[in-house]
Amino acid sequence: MDALIPASEFGLIMPEILLTGFALVLLLIGGFTRGPVASKISGVLCVVGSLLALYFTVNMWGTNLDVFNRLYTIDNYGTFFKGLFLVILILVAIVSLRYADREEIGSGEYYSLLMFGVLGMMVMTSSHHFITIFIGLEVMSLSIYILCGFLRNNITSVEAALKYFLLGAFATGFLLYGMSMIYGSTGIIDVVELKRYFLMKQPFSVAMFIIGLGLLLVGFGFKIASVPFHMWTPDVYQGAPTSITAYMATGVKAAAFGALIRIFYTAFIPFQFGWSGIIWILAVLTMTIGNITALVQRDIKRMLAYSSIAHAGYILVAFITGDRAQASSMLYYLMAYSFMNIGAFTAIIVLQKKGDNSSELDSFTGLGARHPFIALCMCIFLLSLAGVPPLAGFMGKFYVFSTAVKAQYYWLAIIGFLNSVVAAYYYLRVIVYMYFKDPVGDEGAVDRAPQYGLVMVICILALLYMGIFPKVFVLMAQKAVGIFG
Amino acid sequence: MTEFSVFGIPILSFLIFFPLLGAVLLLFVDRRNTLLIKSATLIFSLFELFASVPLFYKFSNTAKGMQFAEKADWFPDWGISYFIGIDGISLLLVLLTTFLTVICVLCSWKAIEDKVKEYYITFLFLETAMIGTLCALDLVLFYVFWELMLIPMYLLIGIWGGPNRIYAAIKFFLFTMAGSVLMLVAILYLYYFYYAQSGIYTFNVLELYKASVPLAKQYWLFGAFALSFAIKVPMFPVHTWLPDAHTEAPTAGSVILAGVLLKMGTYGFIRFAIPLFPSAAIDAIPLMSILAVIGIIYGAIVSMMQPDLKRLIAFSSVSHLGYVMLGIFAFNMQGVQGGIYQMLSHGISTGGLFLIVGMIYERRHTRMISDFGGIAKVMPIFAVFFMIITLSSIALPGTNGFVGEFLILLGAFKSNVVYGTLATTGVILGAVYMLWMFQRVMFGQVTNEANKNLKDLDRREIAILSCMVFFILLMGIYPKMFFNKMDTSVTEYLSLVKNKNVQARMLEPGAIGAAKVAADTTNTNMTR
């Protein structure tokens, strides 16, 4: 094996290098200066760095290469996810420009960790080597453990960080165990190699392999917040700073799904019958428990946390089928899901008061009369989450469940759709509070800032465009999953 | 195919999106300028009405298939297209929609004082969704508009409704959505099934009519479609959302709900559920007819006992829509034509009743029958209109209600005497509850002090009700004008259903299939 790495390969990881560079600069800024001005500068640098990285990522579209002795891979699948993460990062950073200042958590480190988190996500989805995937996952997770606890004086935020860290550490342990057991039973640590190996051998006779696969699922199940590994989600989502909640709910989930889909769809499709049963049950439980628990929540952040669990269930519905061509439905769904969640959490941020990290349902009472624009935005995000056409949420559900129907998982599709009716109830309840109830007392001013408005408008336009003209995005997702062949 | 356009935009697209354009324009009007908002909405809806009238004249009575059709690719890879068109059945419903929208805008003129801007925007948005649903010939397009109808109606009930509006709005939304998601699964199934059969990915309904689905699968698929539409109609066991929704909705909401939205259910049966799965539909005749008959009688009996005027009319809707379903499932010319005619006339007469109730409610702020009595003496003009509309709802000969109901019963008797006989009792019961209600409200002494000084109708209200009465009489006296439009389409529809049914049974293995074909052709007389 040639140990030398051609210099040209560094050009292919330009987005990653840029992110690292900017993150390090931000770290330095954080080390020397503090205060609102430094925070502003850091935020702007973060946005600029991400935009640059996004530019390089977009240019990378169409390149399919294994680099660094096959430890790292540049392909459409990875590029698709990189683009998604960067867009998430940009939106969250724009929101943070204002939010982090308000909560006085803005600093070089904050933005630097945001960028490192995305770097981890990008690494995680751009490799078919278990070790690289694991390193990416750790970079991402460690950044987010810290980000969760950024509201140092808020007990729930600290609790969220600690809880997420402890449970996350265990989950990572499981994941690593899983990977090492698969390695132990097959002698292979590269997913593409595994695929070749399975073409010749039947792995289900080896107990160690089965346990390894199970542990792998547990590890990813934790990250995507699937039942029964979802317990941390509501507490962490609720406790974390709201901008970080938006970041976690979308970025982490997309990254975990990205790696999960890549591993399973590359290597484990030949014995899809072996794991689909277990995931069938997981998917049904995830959808149902997520939605039913969301019904009784009074705190919107908590409700959206449970709803995000349910959405993971919807994606699992398509995941089960093992239909490589239709894997694009999951990618499309993740994209739509990211926009609606970032939008919804931004609307929550607007309504939150300085120093108060809660988001009681009551704070939405009569919002339609008090602040029509914010209410309208929130209404659109909720309707999209509920899957009402012509928004992207509908197209996503349509695509995901049509995948299930195509693969003849009729009951799964029916359960999924019925779940979306249950979900409609709690999304609509927020609309009830916003529009059907009259404002009670003086709720005071909300934090109106152009940054929030910009992000919400971007999200709405994206949702409408993706919903009405899904073609561009579907074709993009289809190209991305082309690597599964 | 007749081509016809407004401002260079094909007519149907124009009709679908013009209200939406109006809604967007309204967004930019100052919310305090309510008069401008109201007049602008009235102008938009009037223009829409005038743009839709030529449809009636340009529509060819003899041409088969869809007219004014437009087709554009939407997402060709998935076989989703923007495919719209109307036949004789949807033509009349589109006209009913544009007409009732104008009426609704007029009748909300004074009733809605709160959030006026949002109200009219919602209404225009609703009109877009309704016309879109009626014109869509692509299943995805249809589903999009179908679901889109839910949102504005949900808001209309929930924001401008009565005291129990939140419960009613959510119940309405969840019931309808639960039905429609099952339909979506069936749509997807059919889509992949047709692909397996023909190698074409398409959601085009006219194309999917050609699919020959095995009987066993037809039952499931028909079941899913039928449940979704039956909830919307609403048919007997799934009707419980309707009284709540009607009672809580503002007057205009009730009018549009009764006038158009319920028709979407029956229309869905004719356009989608039955022609897509004819054999299952024919096998479901006993079930659907029995449910329809139960709906007729149950609705009538429950109506009788209602103390609340709006609730009474809501249950009478259950009864009237039962007739429509019975007619459709008679599977003969009279039944189906009667069913469609009843759809139109129910829109007019029940819409009219809701208007009447709305007008008296604006004056007295109560809808309890016991609060009234002797109103005829205080409000003579009102009494005349109320009487005419009541009689039309009872189906007095000479009014619109008679034509539809008579044809339906004729068709029902022809296909099954038992259902026909049972349904006829509904006619008697209908007269009982309506006339009794009328008597209690209008005749006798004025017992309640508050009723003594009620103002009679003003010019706006007279204008609204005159329009309704005009159509009641026109449809009652000269029904031919409307039947001419639907003759060809209904004939085509029946022969399609018949041929597909025979075809599907022939494909069934064994003698059961063939024997059933023979039995079906004798049982269901499909020719006029």
Q: What is the pLDDT of residue A484?
A: 85
Whether the CB of B172 is below 8 Å from some CB of chain A: the reply is: no
Measured CA to CA, the distance from residue B528 to residue B526 in angstroms comes to 7
Per residue in B139-186, pLDDT tens? Answer: 999 999 999 898 899 888 988 888 888 889 889 988 888 888 889 999
Q: How many residues does chain A have?
A: 485
Residue B357 has pLDDT above 70, yes or no: yes
A residues 200..259 contacting B (CB < 8 A): none
Residue B527 has pLDDT above 70, yes or no: no
Whether the CB of B75 is below 8 Å from some CB of chain A: the reply is: yes
Q: Residue ranges of the domains in chain A?
A: 8-484
Cis check for the bond before A390: say yes or no (omega within 30 of 0). Answer: yes
Q: What is the pLDDT of residue A281?
A: 93
DSSP label at B136?
B
Rounded (10°) angle between helices A328-351 and A300-321: 180
Q: What is the pLDDT of residue A48?
A: 95
Q: What is the pLDDT of residue B166?
A: 87
- Mean local confidence (pLDDT), B282-299: 91
Alpha-carbon separation of residue B325 from B430, B472, B484 (angstroms): 17, 21, 22
Q: B155, B192, B185: which is closest to B170 by C-alpha?
A: B155
Give the pLDDT band (50/70/90) at residue A443: low
Q: A189, A341, A314: which is closest to A252 by C-alpha?
A: A341
Name which of B178, B182, B188 is nearest A405 (Cβ-Cβ): B188
Q: A396, A375, A401: which is closest to A385 by C-alpha?
A: A396
- The encoded tokens of residue A9 equal 């390969």
Chain B interface disruption, residue of A361, A380, A398, most B CBs within 10 A: A398
Q: What is the pLDDT of residue A207?
A: 86
Average pLDDT, chain A: 90
Q: Tell me, what amino acid is at B40?
A: A
Q: What is the pLDDT of residue A203?
A: 67
Residue B511 has pLDDT above 50, yes or no: no
Measured CA to CA, the distance from residue B279 to residue B499 in angstroms comes to 10
Q: How far apart are the first and last CA of chain A?
A: 27
- Mean local confidence (pLDDT), B352-380: 87
Per residue in A345-374, pLDDT tens? Answer: 999 999 888 878 778 888 888 888 888 889
Measured CA to CA, the distance from residue A476 to residue B338 in angstroms comes to 51
Binary contact (A389, B148; C-beta < 8 A):
yes
Q: Tell me, what amino acid is at B407?
A: L
Per residue in A39-63, pLDDT tens? Answer: 889 999 999 999 999 999 999 898 8
Residue B513 has pLDDT above 70, yes or no: no
Other CB atoms within a 10 A radius of the CB of residue B73 amount to 12
Binary contact (B181, A420; C-beta < 8 A):
yes
Q: What is the pLDDT of residue A198?
A: 84
Binary contact (A410, B185; C-beta < 8 A):
yes
Q: What is the pLDDT of residue B3?
A: 62
The bridge status of strand B80-86 relative to strand A72-74 is unpaired
Task: Calculate how close chain B gets to A343, using CA atoms only, in Å.
Answer: 20
Residue B528 has pLDDT above 60, yes or no: no
Rounded (10°) angle between helices B459-477 and B400-415: 40
Whether the CB of A373 is below 8 Å from some CB of chain B: the reply is: no
DSSP label at B62?
S
Binary contact (A421, B174; C-beta < 8 A):
yes
Other CB atoms within a 10 A radius of the CB of residue B33 amount to 13
Q: What is the pLDDT of residue A204?
A: 66
B residues 113..142 contacting A (CB < 8 A): 115, 118, 140
Measured CA to CA, the distance from residue B103 to residue B39 in angstroms comes to 13
Q: Chain B contacts of A470, Cβ < 8 Å?
A: 75
- The number of CA neighbours under 13 Å toward the Cβ of A345 is 31
- Mean local confidence (pLDDT), A277-306: 92
User: Tokens 């390695």 sit at which residue?
Assistant: A183
Measured CA to CA, the distance from residue B500 to residue B209 in angstroms comes to 9
Give the pLDDT band (50/70/90) at residue A24: very high
Residue A115 has pLDDT above 90, yes or no: yes
Residue A156 in 3-state DSSP?
helix
Give the pLDDT band (50/70/90) at residue B118: confident
Name which of B78, B147, B169 is nearest A388 (Cβ-Cβ): B147
Q: Tell me, what amino acid is at A288?
A: T
Residue A441 has pLDDT above 80, yes or no: no
Whether the CB of B194 is below 8 Å from some CB of chain A: the reply is: no
- Mean local confidence (pLDDT), A249-266: 93
Per residue in B190-216, pLDDT tens? Answer: 999 999 888 888 898 888 888 888 888
- Mean local confidence (pLDDT), A98-123: 91
Average pLDDT, chain B: 87
Chain A interface disruption, residue of B117, B147, B174, B181, most A CBs within 10 A: B181
- The encoded tokens of residue A112 equal 């630097």
Residue B411 CA, chain-centre distance (Å), reads 20
Q: Tell me, what amino acid is at A167?
A: L
DSSP label at B398?
T
Whether the CB of A383 is below 8 Å from some CB of chain B: the reply is: yes
Measured CA to CA, the distance from residue A38 to residue A111 in angstroms comes to 11
Decide: B457 and B355 in contact? Cβ < 8 Å.
no
Residue A376 in 3-state DSSP?
helix
10 Å CB burial of residue B428 (0-12, 13-18, 19+) is exposed
Q: What is the pLDDT of residue A354?
A: 82
Higher pLDDT, B111 or B132: B132
Give the chain A residue whose CA is nearest to the CA of B156. A436
Measured CA to CA, the distance from residue B215 to residue B223 in angstroms comes to 12
Q: What angle do CA B70, B75, B80 make, to 5 degrees?
A: 60
Per residue in A454-469, pLDDT tens? Answer: 999 999 999 999 998 8
Give the chain B residue whose CA is nearest to the CA of A433. B166
Measured CA to CA, the distance from residue B342 to residue B327 in angstroms comes to 9
Q: How far apart are the first and last CA of chain B?
A: 26
- The encoded tokens of residue A216 equal 């792998």
Q: What is the pLDDT of residue B1?
A: 44
Task: Please give the radius of gyration of chain B, using alpha carbons only, rounded to the nearest integer.
Answer: 22
Rounded (10°) angle between helices A328-351 and A450-468: 150
Binary contact (A389, B173; C-beta < 8 A):
no
Residue A270 has pLDDT above 70, yes or no: yes
Whether the CB of A418 is below 8 Å from some CB of chain B: the reply is: yes
Higher pLDDT, A204 or B61: B61
10 Å CB burial of residue A274 (0-12, 13-18, 19+) is middle
Higher pLDDT, B11 or A441: B11
Which residues, including other chains, have CB under 8 Å from residue A376's CB and lie 6 or more apart?
A368
Chain B interface disruption, residue of A376, A388, A394, A436, most B CBs within 10 A: A436
- Mean local confidence (pLDDT), A203-227: 88
Per residue in B225-279, pLDDT tens? Answer: 999 999 988 888 888 899 999 988 888 889 999 989 999 999 999 999 999 998 8
Q: Could you tell me where the DSSP H helices lie in B199-213? A: 205-208
Q: What is the pLDDT of residue A2?
A: 55
Residue B518 has pLDDT above 80, yes or no: no
- How many residue contacts between A and B have a Cβ separation below 8 Å? 76
DSSP label at B277?
S
Give the chain A residue whose CA is nearest to the CA of B171. A425
- Mean local confidence (pLDDT), A282-304: 92
Residue B292 CA, chain-centre distance (Å), reads 16
Decide: A80 and A57 in contact? Cβ < 8 Å.
no
Name which of B159, B185, B192 is nearest A435 (Cβ-Cβ): B159
Sign of CA dihedral A124, A126, A127, A128: positive
Q: Tell me, what amino acid is at B503?
A: Q
Give the pLDDT band (50/70/90) at residue A67: confident
Q: Chain B contacts of A429, Cβ < 8 Å?
A: 170
Decide: B507 and B214 in contact? Cβ < 8 Å.
yes
Q: What is the pLDDT of residue B516?
A: 54
Which one of A358-372, A466-480, B52-66 scores highest in mean pLDDT?
A466-480
Other CB atoms within a 10 A radius of the CB of residue A151 amount to 22
DSSP characters for A467-482? HH-THHHHHHHHHHGG
Q: What is the pLDDT of residue B60?
A: 84
Give the pLDDT band (50/70/90) at residue B62: confident
Binary contact (B77, A402; C-beta < 8 A):
no
Higher pLDDT, A83 or B27: A83
Name which of A388, A402, A406 is nearest B151 (Cβ-Cβ): A388
Binary contact (B178, A390; C-beta < 8 A):
no
**What does the H/E/C string look like for chain A?**
CCCCCCCHHHHHCHHHHHHHHHHHHHHHHHHHCCCHHHHHHHHHHHHHHHHHHHHHHHHCCCCCEEECCCCEEECHHHHHHHHHHHHHHHHHHHHHHHHHHHCCCCCHHHHHHHHHHHHHHHHHHCCCEHHHHHHHHHHHHHHHHHHHCCCCCCHHHHHHHHHHHHHHHHHHHHHHHHHHHHHHHHCCCEHHHHHHHHHHCCHHHCHHHHHHHHHHHHHHHHHHCCCCCCCHHHHHHHHCCHHHHHHHHHHHHHHHHHHHHHHHHHHHHHHHHHHHHHHHHHHHHHHHHHHHHHHCCCEHHHHHHHHHHHHHHHHHHHHHHCCCHHHHHHHHHHHHHHHHHHHHHHHHHHHCCCCCCCCEHHHHCCHHHHCHHHHHHHHHHHHHHHCCCCCHHHHHHHHHHHHHHHCCCHHHHHHHHHHHHHHHHHHHHHHHHHHHCCCCCCCCCCCCCHHHHHHHHHHHHHHHHHHHCCHHHHHHHHHHHHHHC
Decide: A193 and A222 in contact? Cβ < 8 Å.
no
Give the chain B residue whose CA is nearest to the CA of A411. B185
Other CB atoms within a 10 A radius of the CB of residue A446 amount to 18
